[in-house]
Amino acid sequence: MIAEMFRDRAARTPGALAVSDGTTTLTYGELASQSEEFALGLAGLGVRRGDLVGLLGGRSVAGVTALVGTVLAGAAYLPLNPGWPAARLRRITDHARPRLVVGPPGAELSVAEVRAAARTAPAVADTGGTPPAYVMFTSGSTGVPKGVVVEQRGVVRLVRAPEHPWLPAGTRAAHGAAPEFDAATLEVWGTLLNGGSLHIADAETMARPAAYARFLRRERIGFAWLTAPLFHRMADHDPAMFSGLHTLMTGGDVVSAGHAGRVLAHCPGLALYNGYGPTENTVFTTVHRITTPVPDPVPIGRAVAGTELYVCDQAGRPVPDGTEGELWVGGAGVARGYLGDPELTAARFPGGRYRTGDLVTRDPDGVLRFHGRADQQVKILGNLVEPAEVTAALLALPAVRQAHTVAVRDEAGEARLSAYAVTDTDPGALRTALAERLPRYLLPAHLTVLDRLPLKASGKVDTARLPAPRAHDGTPAPDELTGLWAQVLGQDPAAIGPDSDFFALGGDSVRLGALLDRIEARLGRRLGFRQVYAVPTPAGMRALLAHAGEATAPVPRASGRTGPAHPAQRGLYALWQADPDSVAYNIPVRLDFGAPVDPERLQAALNTLLDRHEALRTRLTADGDGIRQEVVDDVTVRLETEAGEGGFVRPFDLAAPPLLRARLAGDRRLLLDLHHVVADGVSVRVLVRELLGLLAGRTPPPVPLRWLDAARWCAGRDDDLGHWPAALAGAPGGGTLPTDRPRPPRPSDAGGRVRRDPVAADAVEKTARVHSTTPFVVLLAAYATALARIGGLTDLVIGVPVHGRTHHELADVVGMFVQTMPLRVRLEEDTTLGALVAELRESHQSALDRGAVAYDRLVRELGVGRPGLRDPLVDAFFGLQNLDSYEFAEAGLTASLDFLHPGTTRFDLNLQVHVRPDRLVCDLEHSTELYERASADHLLDSVLLALDEIAIAPEGPVLRRRTARTYASDADFDFGAAR
């Protein structure tokens, strides 16, 4: 069922993006190919239809591939968390008895070993019947986790019902749920079966609101799911952070009406849902779209498709609307039962329905409202927890005579466990012993040792007489770091010693994120997750803080309509002054829509973009203080309607905004032209994305930062030349490469372009992995090799772009941030290709760290250049357009983008490599005054040959022979950066 749906989707859109972790990406065709190989490997290792396969690991591209491959093999998957204690993993695998456990190196089998087994595997046999989709273990009151066997039909009913518009085709969905948490079902299958793309967020991103906000913006996420506690934390940090999403779902615990109201006030176009449901009914049983004004409490809503709801008394008889009863559910989402436990299955799944244990009432209009549990279960971080499981784990310890665990809510409304033990053992030792048996979310936040438990006359524990756990009351601690620990953990500072373990004290990834945020805010230092996981103690953190970097202060906000130019704008303004009729620094693009567009709607959307983004309506002028810019109001753009592209690319007057031009050339084709002085590649991506959203009727979020404020902040950082004068001392400068014709006294911007399409992207990525670097560096090394061989050079300088968005608040600001950085390449007679790659890897990283220096200032300080040169430092440039800027899908509309070549060039030689979903496209721009087309063809072919050499024989010398080669880098999307 699921397998056929996925195969059909992959066959229909093989080139569409399927999954990405920010570094590794797979199209649907690639994911299908790798997953089929994994499925064959499972078959070769003895897995048969209906078997259970354990998948050990967290969120990753490889994990998604293994999950899909398991289903394609006709097996069910069992998600296992490698962070669980070994004892718990052993209990689960002993009970579930999976055929295989696949995971990272060190597991029973690695993903690579499974795929290798595909070479000799038999075809997967279809023996009839539909196997389960997965088995997911939840907390058990007896101390033994129980495995819920979930049907494939339940997954399909959740993600493919037309009544649920959560994940339309083309949606970019966040994957932030742990694989062993059933929300991952919605994220993974909801995305892949509907033709969206899955974007993986790591643990630190999910735990730190600022990092999550950057992730949402960077990956252009349209759909996300968050547990209610995480949603509350994110909303407290910035309620506007969800404004770029079309749908946000939350739940797994009680949703705060106040938080929901604040988010909707800041994100008017957001569809916000409260989703309720136990694992036993496949993720969601009911959903409720939250609208303003938000009721308190927030309802859990109506049944999702294929779900039947029954509000019953203790005997299972229906009760009238408005009467509190236990919720029973039926329909396609109900699980098969509990793995290997027919007695518990019969008790909890009578007659094919599932008794949730949740108390609800139903309104006359069918909306359900949640009133708590009939038992003691509680949700912690989205996981359904039986406090009795913690009690059972305590009683299993030889030193504990009696124990009891209750669930309490802290001041923020989050559920925590408070455990009590009658023992002579120190609480710290008990925590250590529990940590060897229970996952972190089951460790009690408070553990109190008593002489005896208070009992009722019936012999049951009298919970009302249990002493309240000692909690931190907010008073300052002698040590500020200890005080922050106490606040986050809800502990008494006196209970926290220098060697206390954060996780043993009840910490988890979410609370660690909160701690790191507070450290950054209060102590002004920034620590990373990986650092703290290695030394999760106050003493270890103090050692890290001694060498930690300073926290990044917010970009200052100011008022007014004028300000200094961004450093990247100064060189472009000077070039425009020298030749106002040039179009060399225009950025013309062509957008082909998937459906006809209405001209009036398009005109209105373009003017909305002008209103939103100051850079597009700035006027640049020069005075005694330098280059200034002024924001001009009441500016509009006229939508031209001439057919074709002729005459569209024209000079701009930088003193007469808007610096944006548009033409509707047919009902599906839009031409846009911007001047580079107000836009870079990221800006193009932001504008196109917003344009599609406006055409679909969506209201874009408020612009987070004004362009004038961004430019002023960047201008204030242009004060340190750093290592550049020493690095470039004695460099040959521009004009060193041989040319076909003599250089004219006054060069023009006339240029041609040669293209190679396609170029194998996977080969370049593989080479980069071998050399522990990026495709940018491999391509740059090939380009440098070709240039050095053709010119017989041992010292040359290649210009590369540096994105310039060095503060997270600059991520989505429309404006010109890109700077050119000159990378010097020095070669010895015996320099090998591999050594060149290593050298360029280091020099490129150094350039990225020092990208605040404006190129025009660097040239001026160095005092280089001579007449007749386009550029005084470099005459070869390289850029890798790798910002996913060619295919757009927003709110159901699609568009493909391509850059037009206006017959100009900004450098003598400018290699631009475009990263398409399924290939690389290589464009070499060349000055037609200096080079024949045949020479440009030869150089581009030589770059591709050098790429092959680096892959096959990296020990070979760079200067062994003279051939032409071009290709390069992994810097920001650019067109020949600002000079």
pLDDT at 475 over 50: no
Q: Are residues 491 and 596 in the same domain?
A: no
**pLDDT tier at 971, thresholds 50, 70, 90:** very low
CATH of the domain at 105: 3.40.50.980
In terms of average pLDDT, the best of 225-229, 487-491, 913-917 is 225-229
Neighbours of 599 (CB within 10 A): 12
User: Tens digits of per-residue pLDDT, 797-836?
Assistant: 999 988 788 777 887 899 999 988 899 999 998 999 999 9
Distance in angstroms between the alpha carbons of the first and the last residue of the chain:
57
Mean residue pLDDT of the chain comes to: 87
**pLDDT tier at 138, thresholds 50, 70, 90:** confident
pLDDT at 124 over 60: no
How many domains are contained in the chain?
A: 5
pLDDT for 850 equals: 61
Q: Which of 368, 391, 120, 415 is nearest to 252 (CA)?
A: 415
Is the Cα torsion angle 636, 642, 644, 650 positive or negative in sign? negative
Cβ atoms of residues 332 and 153 within 8 Å: yes
Q: Alpha carbon 11 to chain centroid distance?
A: 26
Beta-carbon contacts of 106 under 8 Å, excluding residues fewer than 6 positions away, are none
Q: Are residues 493 and 527 in the same domain?
A: yes
What per-residue string of b and e applies to 786-819 under the rule 16 or more CB within 10 Å gives b?
Answer: bbbbbbebeebbbbbbbbbbbbbbbebbbbbbbb
pLDDT for 396 equals: 84
Domain presence at residue 665: yes
Domain presence at residue 137: no
Please state the rounded mean pLDDT for residues 553-580.
Answer: 90
In angstroms, rounded to a whole number, what is the distance separating the alpha carbons of residues 714 and 884? 25
Q: Are residues 510 and 481 in the same domain?
A: yes
Cα distances (angstroms) measured from residue 949 to each of 691, 791, 795, 957, 963: 43, 19, 21, 10, 12
User: Tens digits of per-residue pLDDT, 418-445?
Assistant: 899 999 888 878 888 888 888 877 888 8
In angstroms, rounded to a whole number, what is the distance separating the alpha carbons of residues 165 and 289? 12
Domain presence at residue 355: no
In angstroms, rounded to a whole number, what is the distance separating the alpha carbons of residues 659 and 679? 9
Q: Are residues 665 and 719 in the same domain?
A: no
Domain presence at residue 979: no
In angstroms, rounded to a whole number, what is the distance separating the alpha carbons of residues 852 and 859? 14
Write phi, then psi, for 105 (nearest 5 degrees). -50, 135
Q: Are residues 588 and 535 in the same domain?
A: no
CATH of the domain at 613: 3.30.559.10
Domain presence at residue 353: no
Write phi, then psi, for 894 (nearest 5 degrees). -125, 155
Q: How many percent of the chain have pLDDT more than 90?
A: 49
pLDDT at 474 over 50: no
In terms of average pLDDT, the best of 283-287, 406-410, 722-726, 849-853 is 283-287
Q: Are residues 643 and 617 in the same domain?
A: yes
User: Tens digits of per-residue pLDDT, 341-363?
Assistant: 999 999 999 999 999 988 999 99
Q: Alpha carbon 737 to chain centroid distance?
A: 42
Q: Are residues 272 and 161 in the same domain?
A: yes
Q: Alpha carbon 707 to chain centroid distance?
A: 25
Q: Are residues 409 and 543 in the same domain?
A: yes
* Residue where a domain stops, chosen among 305, 329, 347: 347
Only one residue has tokens 């986790």, namely 145
Q: Are residues 913 and 779 in the same domain?
A: yes
Domain presence at residue 968: no
Q: Are residues 692 and 828 in the same domain?
A: no
CATH of the domain at 895: 3.30.559.30
CATH of the domain at 313: 3.40.50.12780
Q: Are residues 522 and 629 in the same domain?
A: no
pLDDT for 884 equals: 52
Domain presence at residue 330: yes
CATH of the domain at 383: 3.30.300.30
In angstroms, rounded to a whole number, what is the distance separating the alpha carbons of residues 376 and 374? 7
Q: Any idea of the CA torsion for 533, 534, 538, 540, to the nearest 10 degrees?
A: -150
Beta-carbon contacts of 594 under 8 Å, excluding residues fewer than 6 positions away, are 668, 893, 894, 895
Cβ atoms of residues 53 and 102 within 8 Å: yes
Q: Are residues 539 and 570 in the same domain?
A: no
Domain presence at residue 965: no
Q: Alpha carbon 717 to chain centroid distance?
A: 28
The domain containing residue 21 runs over which residues? 1-130
